[in-house]
């Protein structure tokens, strides 16, 4: 990567992580805080936690498409301003309804798709996967940090202070965007990073991709539902207020990350993705049952929490990788757009459903329902095909017509290690699925304009 590509990728990863940090930070503390608000019900608490997910799900694809017409930075700036406004509304609210409104406004700042498109604009094809990986890693790290920073900040400034901090983070992200991220000179559609409406039908008919969409929806449904009641259970079991819960989250998140890493290595290097995927879903069934039985006992609760996050971290990291492996090369961006929509819907359903169950059937019902959803997911996962261990690979092929693009697709398909090749003339890009262990990289160089010019 060039210095410009590295700077742009790092800055965009920072913007995404700052935003996701703000969204996740209230999870470990909000349910306890909400008990102090007037006329609060558990259903409204769940709505406050999940409201941003519904709005985000509705707007992230449309705003990504809008960025093709009015500019990436304009959409991202507008989204971050909305995110900051929503944070201020939530910080100043003295009722649960006001916080729900603030969270919904936060969700309206749906910049994910536009940010990915800007990343694609600012990186060459052969380095784009690295840039996307940096952003993906930053989201994972933001989640882990949020579980620790949320209780710490709550101890110092309270939940309103957390919302003020989130608003300041959004303003800092705007500064990063305009001071450190270059403005693309030649923005265009990137099928690997953006939703392409013409690919919707193809993606929505792909059974394996739908299986992954259902997986991320169910994963985030139970995550969000769990955090409607988990802070309350942890408070009652430990007799500590939410500000001190970082004592538990810090070692658990460190150990969970350490436990996840070898699983990822075994899944990818030894090609054991399907059995480990199914095993982790089965662990979630056991964990949710364990929560239902042990949530009143501190050590049992912490043990289940550790197992949950080992499985969660592995599944959260594996699912996008599986989408990339399985999606048709020219529809990867569309597949990821629909996948992300499923994730945000899961956040909404989990918040609302978890709150409703807690209000009407008690805390244990949230975990029993989570176990049922995990068992349903286990049935879905068991039918998945063993994925091909292919990586995405892009080549800049320069200006060509459609006939030449078709011929080039056939020639690229004959290169050793290339399993699938699609060349799109108007994008000047060849989208490939490759087996890195067999790939003849030297044979590919003659087809790449950027590589051949070095």
Q: Is the dihedral of CA 37, 38, 41, 47 positive or negative?
A: negative
Residue 255: band (very low, low, confident or very high) from pLDDT cuts 50, 70, 90: very high
CB contact at 8 A, 22 and 87: yes
Unique residue bearing structure tokens 């436990």: 259
Scanning 270-297, the segments in alpha helix (DSSP H) are 273-294
pLDDT level of residue 450 (50, 70, 90 thresholds): low
- Whether the per-residue pLDDT at 454 is higher than 60: the answer is no
Confidence tier at 212 by pLDDT (50, 70, 90)? very high
Residues 6 or more apart whose CB falls under 8 angstroms from that of 299 comprise: none
Whether the predicted pLDDT of 108 surpasses 90: yes
Task: Tell me: pLDDT of 58 over 50.
Answer: yes
Residue 421's DSSP bridge partners are 432
d(CA 309, CA 237): 19
Architecture in CATH of 391-452? 2-Layer Sandwich (3.30)
Confidence band, pLDDT 50/70/90 cuts, at residue 136: confident
| Residue 403 banded pLDDT, cuts 50, 70, 90 | confident
Report residue 45 as tokens: 């608490």
Report pLDDT digits (tens) over 351-386.
Answer: 999 999 999 999 999 999 999 999 999 999 999 888
Q: Which is more confident, 282 or 447?
A: 282
Matching residue, tokens 């749906």: 110
Please, are residues 387 and 326 in contact by the beta-carbon 8 Å criterion? yes
Predicted pLDDT of residue 83 = 95
* 217 vs 380: CA distance, rounded Å: 12
Is the torsion defined by CA of 52, 121, 432, 439 positive or negative?
A: negative
> Which CATH number applies to 199-388: 1.20.1250.20, 3.40.50.720, 3.40.50.300, 1.10.600.10?
1.20.1250.20
Per-residue pLDDT averaged across 422-430, rounded? 84
C-alpha distance across the termini of the chain, in Å:
13
Higher per-residue pLDDT: 435 or 90: 90
Q: HSE-up of 64 (CA within 13 Å, CB side)?
A: 29
Q: Range with the lowest mean pLDDT among 88-97, 376-385, 425-434?
A: 425-434
Comparison of pLDDT for 251 and 432, the residue scoring more: 251
Query: Residue with structure tokens 């990350």?
Result: 257
Average pLDDT over residues 221-230: 96
**Partner residues linked to 423 by β-bridges:** 430
Q: Within 10 Å of residue 393's Cβ, how many Cβ atoms?
A: 23
pLDDT in tens, 29-46: 999 999 999 999 999 999
- Extents of the domains making up the chain: 1-194, 199-388, 391-452
Q: So what's the pLDDT on residue 63? A: 93
Rounded CA-CA distance 229/235 in Å is 10
Residue 68's pLDDT band, with cuts at 50, 70 and 90, is confident
- What count of Cα atoms within 13 Å lies in the side-chain half-sphere of residue 329? 22
Which residues, in sequence order, are bridge partners of residue 106?
Answer: none
Distance CA 286, CA 283 (A): 5
> Looking at residues 235-247, what average pLDDT do you find?
91
Q: Does 13 score more than 60 pLDDT?
A: yes
Residue 196 phi/psi, 5-degree rounding, is: -115, 110
Q: What is the CA radius of gyration of the chain?
A: 22
Q: Which residue has the higher pLDDT, 421 or 254?
A: 254
pLDDT confidence tier of residue 239, bands split at 50, 70 and 90: very high
* Mean pLDDT estimate for the chain: 90
pLDDT recorded at residue 451: 46
pLDDT tops 50 at residue 116? yes
pLDDT-derived band at 425, boundaries 50, 70, 90: confident
In contact, 53 and 107? CB cutoff 8 Å: yes
- Match domain 1-194 to its CATH number in 1.20.1250.20, 3.10.420.10, 3.40.50.300, 1.10.260.40: 1.20.1250.20
Range list of H helices, 128-245? 128-180, 200-204, 207-238
Domains 199-388 and 391-452 share a fold: no
In order of 126, 232, 412, 423, the CA distances from 445 in angstroms are 11, 58, 11, 15
The per-residue pLDDT for 453 is: 35
Q: What's the whole-number mean pLDDT along residues 232-242?
A: 92
pTM listed for this prediction: 0.92
C-alpha–C-alpha distance, residues 323 and 380, integer Å: 16
Tokens linked to 283: 């662990």
Structure confidence at residue 75 as a pLDDT band (50, 70, 90): very high
Residue 26, pLDDT score: 92
Residue of 136, 112, 125 whose CA lies nearest to 337: 112
């Amino acid at each position: 990567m060039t210095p410009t590509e590295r700077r742009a990728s790092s800055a965009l990863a920072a913007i995404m992580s700052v935003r996701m940090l703000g969204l996740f930070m209230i999870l470990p503390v909000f349910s306890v805080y909400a008990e102090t608000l007037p006329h609060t019900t558990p259903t409204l608490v769940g709505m406050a936690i999940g409201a941003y997910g519904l709005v985000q799900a509705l707007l992230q694809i449309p705003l990504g498409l809008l960025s093709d017409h009015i500019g990436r930075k304009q959409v991202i700036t507008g989204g971050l301003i909305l995110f900051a406004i929503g944070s201020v509304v939530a910080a100043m609210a003295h009722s649960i309804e006001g916080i729900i409104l603030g969270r919904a406004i936060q969700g309206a700042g749906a910049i994910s798709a536009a940010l990915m498109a800007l990343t694609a604009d600012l990186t060459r094809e052969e380095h784009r996967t690295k840039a996307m990986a940096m952003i993906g890693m930053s989201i994972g790290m933001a989640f882990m940090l949020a579980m620790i920073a949320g209780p710490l900040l709550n101890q110092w400034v309270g939940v309103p202070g957390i919302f003020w901090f989130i608003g300041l983070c959004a303003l800092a992200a705007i500064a990063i965007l305009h001071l450190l991220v270059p403005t693309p000179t030649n923005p265009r559609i990137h099928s690997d990073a953006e939703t392409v409406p013409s690919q919707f039908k193809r993606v929505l008919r792909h059974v394996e991709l739908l299986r992954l969409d259902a997986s991320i929806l169910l994963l985030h449904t139970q995550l969000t539902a769990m955090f409607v009641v988990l802070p309350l259970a942890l408070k009652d079991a430990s007799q500590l207020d939410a500000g001190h819960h970082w004592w538990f989250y810090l070692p658990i998140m460190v150990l969970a990350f350490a436990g996840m890493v070898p699983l990822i290595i075994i899944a990818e290097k030894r090609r054991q993705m399907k059995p480990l995927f199914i095993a982790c879903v089965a662990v979630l069934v056991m964990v949710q049952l364990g929560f239902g039985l042990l949530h009143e006992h501190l050590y049992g609760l912490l043990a289940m929490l550790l197992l949950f996050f080992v499985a969660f971290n592995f599944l959260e990291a594996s699912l996008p990788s599986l989408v990339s492996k399985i999606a048709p090369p020219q529809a990867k961006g569309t597949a990821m757009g629909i996948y992300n929509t499923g994730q945000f819907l899961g956040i909404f359903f989990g918040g609302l459903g978890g709150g409703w169950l807690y209000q009407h059937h008690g805390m244990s019902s949230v975990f029993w329902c989570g176990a049922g959803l995990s068992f349903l997911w286990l049935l879905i996962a068991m039918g998945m095909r063993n994925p091909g261990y292919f990586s995405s690979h892009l080549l800049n092929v320069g200006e060509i017509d459609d006939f030449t693009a078709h011929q080039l697709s056939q020639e690229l398909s004959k290169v050793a290690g290339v399993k699938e090749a699609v060349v799109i003339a108007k994008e000047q890009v060849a989208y490939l699925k490759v087996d890195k262990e067999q790939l003849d990289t030297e044979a590919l160089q003659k087809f790449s304009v950027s590589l051949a010019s070095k």
